[in-house]
Structure 1
Amino acid sequence: MPLYKTLTPNSQTTVKIWKITETYDDLLEPISLKPENMKRVLGMKSELHQRGFLSVRHLLLEFGYTDDDLFYDEYGKPHLKDGKHISITHSFTFSGVVVSDGIVGIDIEKQREKIGVIAHKFMDYEYQYLDQSDDKYINKLIVIWCIKESLYKLFATPGLSFLQNTLVIPFTLEEASTHAWIDYQDKKYRFDTTFFEFEGFTCAYALPS
């Protein structure tokens, strides 16, 4: 399938989502991979992961980049050679890339009930406004996880804790946006976050306020 969705949060930022319906061979054939990335793909045990990796390279092409334009730093954070900021995500049959002039983070997650089991590992403050009897409780947990994962990706700092260093301001699913904070080493950083749901998945991305 071609591009699933394109969003433009501001004049400096573009989000693109890909729905992965192609076979591994169909995804591989039109693109060129660096030798180390070809080796990486061939070493993946799951075809789902292979297709996710390759779909991200198709998204890069949508932005006008190739696999050679992308590199990773010592912390595993992706960068573009032209200096623009990038964040990457893929979950099951969807992948996403956001490119911006400033720091940015994105995450996509499949909506699954089991997130409720680990909620205490990534939330503290948020329990103050969440209602576990709400029929959208799981959806809201996934939004919070996606936002915090986006913050983690853009901050790219070893030791950052979802539980201790991040918080998400109260929101409704209808608002589709909220603010979030990173509180790290006596400094506070505020971010604008946007989220949306589609086909049983949730996506969130974060930008500095």
Structure 2
Amino acid sequence: MAYRETPKIAARKQYIREKILQAAAELTAEQGFSGTSVSAIAARAGVATGSVYRYFPNKSALCTEVFRTATSREIAQVKSALEATGNVKKRLHAAVSTFADRALRSRRLAYSLIAEPVDPQLDQERLNYREHYANLFAAAIQEGIASEELCPQHPQISGAALVGALAEALIGPLAARIRDDTTGSASPKTQYSEQQMIKEITAFCLRAVGINETVL
């Protein structure tokens, strides 16, 4: 007779898997993907190192799952801002500032998602992540063109350009702040107010799609 897993055993396995994923997510937020080892994840989750491999074939597969979970959460926040009530300018402003604000508040995780060197499997996930953002921005831009809030433009190109601008504008500040967190001191590049930085990035992105935005 073939073995049939009982609901109790299935629930226990799911619980352990979730514990491992949570531990991996916490360590990634603290140390990045490169600084996270399977043994450290196992210790944080309270399981044997071998147990991790019962649920994930290797570190890359585990990190990919962490990446998907983290990016899904971040995408949901931007999507919510873009689908809120209000005109396109208001919603794009909220979406861009939300992206930048969340990145600067969780800088190690944001840097890992945006720019940390990773293996090919994770790199493909990153491309998917950027494409998803680009599609969300493109839909909002298309709506703005239709309502004549925005000038005629190619929505998909503009959407992808916004994602690129956001990532490029944040890489340097995120890396600098991670160094400051490590050394305990602020370098000249990081003395710029984070709120002012968010305003500047948001204004640039809005101007890029044809919305006049002045930074005060």
TM-score (norm 1): 0.27
Greater strand fraction, Structure 1 or Structure 2: 1
**Rg comparison, structure with higher value:** 2
Higher helix share: 2
